Each structure stands twice: as structure tokens, then as C-alpha cells.
Amino acid sequence: MRDAVIRGGKASVLWLRERRRLERLLARIPVDGDRSRHSHRLLAPTATLSPWYDDEGFLATYEAVADHTLVDIYRCWDLWSALAQVAAVSGDVLEVGVWRGGTGALLAERSRWLGLDATVVLADTFRGVVGAGSEDPWYRGGEHSDTSVALVEDLLGRFPGISTLVAEGMFPDDTGDALADRSLRLVHIDVDVYDSAKATLEWAWPRLGVGGLVIFDDYGFYECEGVATLGAELMAAAGTALRGITSLNGHLTLVKLSDEPLPTC
């Protein structure tokens, strides 16, 4: 029974992917004028501000990565916007959880646009999710293994002038040491499960500049309960070290307020 439920859940995620593809196609058709492109009004009828449709650079980049990402346009816009917020913090950008490279390429292209002195480090096993445990009711390990370093590098090659580094292996166990000397301004954690998300955060926190951001994907998504659990623990322990800002779109953003150690949770 449990396996049947999990199989059903996975099938619905695949359906969601197709639905997003359809939404992107429909968004190009101005059925009742420009406002018809604002499809999020179906969820939040009075929230029609959609700056992502007015930013040509973002739209072109999103279109170029959309078939390489599981992340929707709203969260991609969050990432695009967040990099401008940390322009004054020095250091690199780290993404753990790359899959086919969509959000990583978007971050790298945005970094180039902003003229940041930053390498975007893209860390993934490229063999699927690892570290699933008791906090993660849905994941078993190995999900999202339908990718490769070559596939990601092919996507990155379509963006001349970006600065990226691909780190293949489990993070931080396999690849953390080689990256240990880097300072960071933004960390994007998109690993789906509790232990990997926590281990990534603990590794990144001392390297993150004050004012830097950690953005968790998967926050509040039904198949990623472990990330919501971690987020709740972090916000309960936050003290004066950090602020946690939640969003209904599936992002939890931590703002680093001081050089204090990461609160224990």
C-alpha cells in the first residue's frame, strides 16, 4: 500500500512537470491581453504584480533553462532577484542539487549580468538524491538520477562568459574539502531531503558572509517534508544569528545576520 502511494506521488510529480510545460506555452498566448499571462492570479487573485514578465534578461534566461529545471518561474525569479541583494557581499555562489543544471545556469548567467566577481559552484552526485532518512517520508535515494555532468556542461556552454565549477559527488562528504577555502555570498540548497540539506547548511554557514543568503528549495512541498522540518528547527533556534523568511512558493530564505555560529537544531 505504502509503495503504491509513493508510486502515485511520483507519477503526480511527473504530471506537474508536464503541467508547468503547458503553462509556459499558454503564457505566451495573450488570450485576454497582457494580464492573461499572469497565471499566478489563479492562486492569489489579487496578486498580479509579475515583474518576471517585464525583465527581458530574466525571460530569455528562463526560456533557455526551462527544460533543464524542475523549478518553476516564480522560484527562478526569486533566485534571479536574490543575487542582486547580495551584490555587496563578497564570495562565490554555491548550489547543491543541480540535476540538469537549470537553476545553476540561471544563477551563473545572473551573476555575469550583475558583473559579480563570483564563481557559481554546482555540486551534485549526478546519481540522484542521497541522505534520505527518517525525516523524509517520500524519498528513498536515487531519485533525479536522470542527468549527467556532460548534460549540465552542455547547458552551461550555451552561456558565454559565465564562471562555473562543477563538483561531482556527495556534498559535503566527497567534494567539500576541495571547496573548503571559498567564501560564499549565496547558497542554494535544492537537495530534497533533511540530512543532505542540514549537512550542506552546516558546511556553508561559516563560509557565508554576513548579509549573505541561504535559499532552500522544497520548503513546504508535500514530498519534501524533511526540508520543512529542518526549516522549522532553524527558525525556532534562530536567535540573533539569522532570520528565516518563508514563502508559499516553496522557498525558505535565511539571512545571515552576524558571524555567530549556526544555531544548534
Ligand X SMILES: C[S@@+](CC[C@H](N)C(=O)[O-])C[C@H]1O[C@@H](n2cnc3c(N)ncnc32)[C@H](O)[C@@H]1O
Which positions touch ligand X (CB under 6 A)? Answer: 69-71, 96-99, 102-103, 123-125, 128-131, 144, 170-171, 190-192, 196
Q: Is 216 helix (H, G, I), strand (E, B) or coil?
A: strand
Measured CA to CA, the distance from residue 103 to residue 98 in angstroms comes to 7
Cβ distance to ligand X smaller for residue 78 or 241: 78
Q: Which is nearer to ligand X, 46 or 134 (CB)?
A: 134
Q: Which is nearer to ligand X, 24 or 41 (CB)?
A: 24
Smallest separation (angstroms) from ligand X to the CB of 67: 10
CB of 158 to ligand X, least distance (A): 15
Residue 124 CB, shortest distance to ligand X, in Å, is 4
Strand partners, 245: 253
Minimum CB separation of residue 35 from ligand X in Å reads: 28
Instruction: Label each residue of 209-229 as H, E or C.
Output: EEEEEEEECCCCCCCCHHHHH
In the complex with ligand X, the residue whose CB is nearer, 76 or 118, is: 76
Contact 101, 65 (CB under 8 A): yes
Q: Tell me how far the alpha carbon of residue 226 is from its chain's centroid.
A: 16
What residue is closest to ligand X based on CB? Answer: 97
> What is the 3-state composition of the chain as percent helix, strand, coil, each rounded to the nearest 5?
45, 15, 40
